[in-house]
Amino acid sequence: MALPESAKAEATPSLEERVLVSVADGADLRGRTTTLSAMSESLNITATALSDTDAALAGTRTDAVVAVDSDVDVTLASGSTVTGERTLTLEAGHGLSIAQSIAVVDLLAFISVSTEAEATTTATLDARVTFEDGAVARTQDLDVELKAPTPP
């Protein structure tokens, strides 16, 4: 009896991103309308794994794994001052985010020994606006926004 023919396909891209807007200690930012914005505008990552086997006796394994880790921060350091005479907007967040994994098995066999396909997508998307102790924000209208990713 012939040994089984096997195929294995694996795709594992990952994406790490850090977007930081920081106002340093002692900085004094002033304006009529002031905006500090840290945005990850677009994340697009795809893993595709394709396993293709043609044999009388065959087995196949396909794994597609995507991992996304994105941190977006606006930080006002201790001793910093930000002034928006009319408005002050502090925003952090994510725009369009697409992360997908696709596992495909194409198996043509008289007897299939084993066929496995797994697709995994994980995403950690963090957005923060931080005022450290001693940071000062002056304005008539303060707007702090944390934006969630939008679906495609």
pLDDT, tens digit, 9 for 90 and up, residues 22-80: 999 999 999 999 999 999 988 888 888 887 777 767 778 888 999 889 999 999 999 99
Q: Which pLDDT score, from 0 to 100, does residue 3 have?
A: 44
Model pTM?
A: 0.74
- The CA–CA distances, whole Å, from 14 to 72, 120, 141 equal 17, 12, 40
Q: How many CB atoms lie under 10 A from the CB of residue 35? A: 13
